[in-house]
Structure formats: C-alpha cells, structure tokens
Structure 1
Amino acid sequence: MNDLVFMHGLNEEPYTTDKIIAECSNNQLKVVKNLIRNHKQDLEEFGFLHFENAKLPGRGRPQKTYHLNEQQATLLITYLDNTPEVNQFKKNLVREFYRMRKELNQRQINRAIEKPQRKSLMDAVKDWPHVTQWSYRNMTQLLLKRATGGMTAQQIKKQRHVKVALDGLTLKEQERYKQLENIAIGLVGLNKTWDEVKGVLLLA
C-alpha cells in the first residue's frame, strides 16, 4: 500500500495519479485516462485537474500524468466497475489519504515550531567569531544532508517539488533536523570552529 498518495510541500494537498489508479484497480491506463477526459468537468468541481508532462525513454512525445486530489480520485473510482480489485483499492486509497493528511498536519505544526529555533541558529551564526559569508549556507546544507541521508537543498527542491527545502522534509527528517540544529546552536555558542562543528555534526 506504499506510494499510493503523494505530497509536495506543506501548502499543496495530497494527490494520487492516473497511473496508480490504473495499476491498483487492475485497469488499463488508457481506460483511466479516457474516464478522466470524459468526466473532466465533473472532476474539476472538486478542484483544478493538475497534471505533469514527462518524456518517457524511447518515446518522442511526453506523456501526461494526471494528479487527482482525494475527492477527484474518489469520484473517478466510482466510474470503474466494482471488481474485487477496485473495492480493495478504494479502501487502501481512503486509508492512505487519511494517513497523508495526518502527516501533512503534523509536518505543518513541526515546521511552525522549528522557525524560532532556526532564528536562534541565524542569530548565533551572526555573532560567531568564525563567521564568513558562507557560514549560514554551509551550516544549512550540512544539516539538510545529515537529516535526509545526503540530499542537498537543491536536490530536495527538485525531487520533492518544493520551493523551500525545509518544506520538503518528512516527519522523521524534521525531527532529525531539529535535533542537529540544536547541536549546531550549542556548538556555535561555544565558539567552536567550523571544522569542529562539522566534525561533531557528521558523527551525531
């Protein structure tokens, strides 16, 4: 039941795709796409029908992948035949949308809680005897890499479709980032050098 529902950032609602619906309901992708096109007006009563164009290897023309929010996906599934696969997928999708909404709410709360801590780090770095014009950027990059298992801010933005890297962290990564940020604030407050700070954070 993994990867049925996706989420980009903290300000966008969770969604599933036409591909997921086709695969998990045991329907052909072209059947699902036709249903979306035929019922586009109905689906758009529940929000704008988002999509992305991705070029597939070996094919000249990009393929359109639809992104459907919870209401759109629920409505679309009612247009499919009630096979055992479709009925099971309905239940799985409802559970996954609920789980993702719950995670989104918690991530939004965590992000709000972390903002004052981030300001504390900025203030500490500003008064740090070892500060350079790159200190804050380097510190943030290191914290992100340690929290995500090696991803830079740019990689997070690109892969998770967010404008601010911190908005793309999972719940687990948020907790890790917060822990590392606290350590960094303490080390900077003790006037440790960048190499000393980096050494401790790499082992933390």
Structure 2
Amino acid sequence: MQELVFIKSEDLNSEPFTTDEVIAEFSGNSRDSVTRLIRTHQDRLEIFGRVGFEIRAMPSGQKAKFYHLNQQQATLLITFLDNTAKVVEFKTELVKQFYEMEAELMTRRLERAKGKAIRVSLTDAIKEVGFSGHFYKHFTDLVYKKALGFNTKQLRDARGAKPKATPLDFLTTKEQAAVNQIESLVTGLIQLGYSYDDIKLILNVGVVVYQTTLKTPEKVEQGV
C-alpha cells in the first residue's frame, strides 16, 4: 500500500493528515464525491479542528482545492463511505498509517524531552566552570558538527524551518539521539576540567560520524 498519511514539515509538532485525493483514489470513489462529502459534513468534521486545504495548479492550468484531514476528521469521513471490500482494506491501512505516524512523532518527542534535560546539564556545566557566555554557542556548534556534520543554520535550511525555529524540533529520532550522545560526552569533559580546545580535539580524534546524506546521519560511534 502506498503512503496515505503525511506531515507538512519535519517539525515534531506537525499534525499528520491525509487528503481527499488519497481517500478518493484508495477507496475507489471519485474526488467529486469525496469533496462533496467533506462539504456536506464540514461542520461535523470541524468539531475536530479546522479542515485544512491547499490550492494546487492542475495540468489544465486551472487551480483546485485539495483538502487536508487530520486523523479524527478522516476517521469520521470514512464512516460515510460504503463498506465495499476495497473501502474496508483502505480504512484498515489508513488507521494503521495514522497510528504509525503518531508513534514515530511520539518517539521523537520523548527523545527531544530527554535532550532538554541533557541540554540543561550542559549549560549548567558551562556556567559552573566559569566559561564566558560566548561558549554556549561555541559548544552548541561543536556538538552539532560532531553529532550531525552540519550546523544549526544548515539544519534549518535543509528542513525548511524558519530562521528562529528551534532546530532540535526538526531532528529525526536518530539525529536527536546522536546529539544527546555527544552533548552528554561534552558535559562530562567540561565537568572534568577540560578546556574548549581540548574537548574539540578529543571529539575530532575520538568521534566518527557516518552519514550518507545531510538528512539522516547513519551512525555515531564514540570513544575516548
């Protein structure tokens, strides 16, 4: 079965959605009939939030509205479809994919929460040993470069995030785990009294980052 559920961006706070186009194609109904159902039941659907949409250019040059439905809206809408064998199979897969997407986002949120606690430990360590305020950014950049191979600006650009967005909100589970791992290591080295230059040297010789693309670092190994 093809992808039925999407998110607008890689922001872990994004809400998964499906479209009227997907519902029509995989349930064996026309888009006209599905969009008619959405308009007919829009008040009920919007009990679960505003029904989103995007405007897309069609091959004919005309523009058309494509609806975005969150999990609750899509679940309600598909109850209005006749239960043919194809519709039943589609309903099952749609629910499954919504669940899987939510589970992945929850895993990312939990790893992000862990990262917040680790970040507090790092900033506390920087303050306790008497580093100047400039070192908060220096150590942040160092952690990102060693964990992921790129800095915060490059991450925002790659994920389409706004300039002031929190870059950690756009990390995959693997990326967040890599940042957490390196940040914990840096915190420990600061607490042991190492200077910034010493820590940078240790990371350069002791941490190997394997990554095939900017988007997904494949493996991070550490050793000191």
TM-score, normalised to structure 1's length? 0.72
Task: Number of aligned residue pairs: give it.
Answer: 199
Match of 2:121 in 1: 120
Match of 1:153 in 2: 156
Unaligned ranges ≥5, structure 2: 210-219
Q: Secondary structure at the match of 1:158?
A: coil
Q: Secondary structure at the match of 1:152?
A: helix
The structure-2 alpha-carbon separation of the partners of 1:185 and 1:87, relative to structure 1 and needing over 3 Å to count, comes to: same
Which amino acid is 1:173 matched to?
E
Which amino acid is 1:139 matched to?
L
The structure-2 alpha-carbon separation of the partners of 1:191 and 1:59, relative to structure 1 and needing over 3 Å to count, comes to: farther
How far did 1:117 drift? Answer: 0.8
How far did 1:115 drift? Answer: 0.6
Is 1:47 the counterpart of 2:52 in the alignment?
no
Which amino acid is 1:155 matched to?
A
Is 1:88 the counterpart of 2:92 in the alignment?
no
Instruction: Please identify the structure whose Cα radius of gyration is greater.
Output: 2
Alignment of 1:66-145 (within 5 A): 66-124=67-125, 127=130, 135-136=138-139, 138-139=141-142, 141-142=144-145, 145=148
8 A Cα contact 1:157 1:165, kept in partner: no
Q: Secondary structure at the match of 1:97?
A: helix
The structure-2 alpha-carbon separation of the partners of 1:132 and 1:177, relative to structure 1 and needing over 3 Å to count, comes to: closer
- Structure 1 runs (4+) deviating above 4 angstroms are 54-58, 123-129, 131-134, 186-189
How far did 1:188 drift? Answer: 5.5
CA deviation string 1:166-190 (max 9, x = no partner): 2233333332332232234345563
CA distance in 2 between counterparts of 1:156 and 1:67 reads 21
The structure-2 alpha-carbon separation of the partners of 1:45 and 1:101, relative to structure 1 and needing over 3 Å to count, comes to: same
How far did 1:50 drift? Answer: 1.8
- 1:191 corresponds, among 184, 190, 195, to 195
- Identify the structure with the greater strand proportion: 2
CA deviation string 1:100-148 (max 9, x = no partner): 333333333322221121123334556558x56852553364267449x
Match of 1:5 in 2: 5
CA distance in 2 between counterparts of 1:105 and 1:137 reads 25
Give the superposed CA RMSD. 3.8
CA deviation string 1:72-112 (max 9, x = no partner): 10121123332322110101111222223333333333222
8 A Cα contact 1:125 1:135, kept in partner: no
8 A Cα contact 1:5 1:15, kept in partner: yes
The structure-2 alpha-carbon separation of the partners of 1:156 and 1:36, relative to structure 1 and needing over 3 Å to count, comes to: same
CA distance in 2 between counterparts of 1:95 and 1:174 reads 25
How far did 1:40 drift? Answer: 1.4
- Is 181-190 or 16-25 further displaced after alignment? 181-190
How far did 1:198 drift? Answer: 6.3
The structure-2 alpha-carbon separation of the partners of 1:195 and 1:105, relative to structure 1 and needing over 3 Å to count, comes to: closer
CA distance in 1 between counterparts of 2:12 and 2:3 reads 18
- Is 108-117 or 95-104 further displaced after alignment? 95-104
8 A Cα contact 2:156 2:167, kept in partner: yes
Unaligned ranges ≥5, structure 1: none
Q: Secondary structure at the match of 1:179?
A: helix
